[in-house]
């Protein structure tokens, strides 16, 4: 049996194309369309990246000459070298600044004070050594000279003046024919009635 309405619907469907008969077909078509759009976007992104890479490679090869630097004679050909140098200098300056800021800062007043004390101690020791030299050479007072040298060694043991005083005491010991060190400053003071 032939139904005229069925026949009319069939002819209309053929004329219109594929019929939308259920919601499932719509969802499938939407998914396909979204997939195609993603594919097109990804392909466009890849093409942009490849094109950008090719463009940058062309630009870089045009800026940097292929001639060795020793052969180059024009200052304009070295622009990229100067740019690299300035960038490296800025990086070094930033690294040095960071290093200076990260190191603990010494107290300049304390360091200066300790340096001044050290200098004054050395000066005082050298004055005592000079007095000992004067006592021995001018007055021929060996005991006073030994006492002065020994006092320098006792008061300023790590100073350069103490090294000089030790040398002077050794020389005095050699001159008198003694291998031992001269008497201590306390013996000198007690011999003078000061101890």
pTM (predicted TM-score): 0.37
HEC readout, 32-100 = HHHHHHHHHHHHHHHHHHHHHHHHHHHHHHHHCCCCCCCCCCCHHHHHHHHHHHHHHHHHHHHHHHHHH
Percent of the chain with pLDDT over 70: 72
Q: Which two tokens stand for residue 64?
A: 């940097």
**Residues 79-112: tens digit of each pLDDT:** 777 777 878 788 888 888 777 777 666 666 667 8
What CA–CA distance (Å, rounded) separates 144 from 7?
A: 144
**Residues 110-153: tens digit of each pLDDT:** 678 888 888 888 888 889 899 888 888 888 888 988 999 999 99
Where are the domains positioned within the chain? 27-65, 108-191
DSSP-derived letter for residue 192 is T
């Amino acid at each position: 049996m032939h139904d005229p309405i069925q026949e009319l619907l069939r002819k209309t469907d053929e004329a219109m194309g594929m019929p939308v008969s259920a919601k499932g077909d719509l969802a499938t078509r939407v998914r396909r369309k979204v997939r195609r759009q993603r594919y097109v976007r990804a392909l466009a992104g890849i093409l942009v990246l490849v094109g950008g890479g090719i463009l940058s490679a062309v630009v870089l090869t045009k800026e940097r000459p292929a001639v060795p630097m020793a052969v180059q004679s024009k200052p304009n050909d070295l622009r990229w070298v100067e740019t690299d140098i300035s960038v490296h200098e800025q990086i070094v300056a930033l690294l040095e600044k960071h290093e200076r800021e990260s190191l603990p800062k010494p107290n300049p007043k304390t360091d200066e004070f300790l340096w001044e004390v050290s200098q004054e101690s050395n000066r005082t020791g050298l004055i005592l050594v000079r007095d000992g030299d004067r006592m021995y050479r001018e007055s021929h007072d060996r005991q006073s000279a030994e006492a002065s040298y020994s006092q320098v060694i006792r008061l300023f043991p790590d100073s350069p003046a103490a090294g000089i005083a030790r040398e002077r005491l050794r020389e005095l010991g050699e001159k008198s024919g003694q291998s031992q060190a001269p008497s201590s400053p306390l013996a000198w003071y007690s011999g003078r009635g000061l101890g």
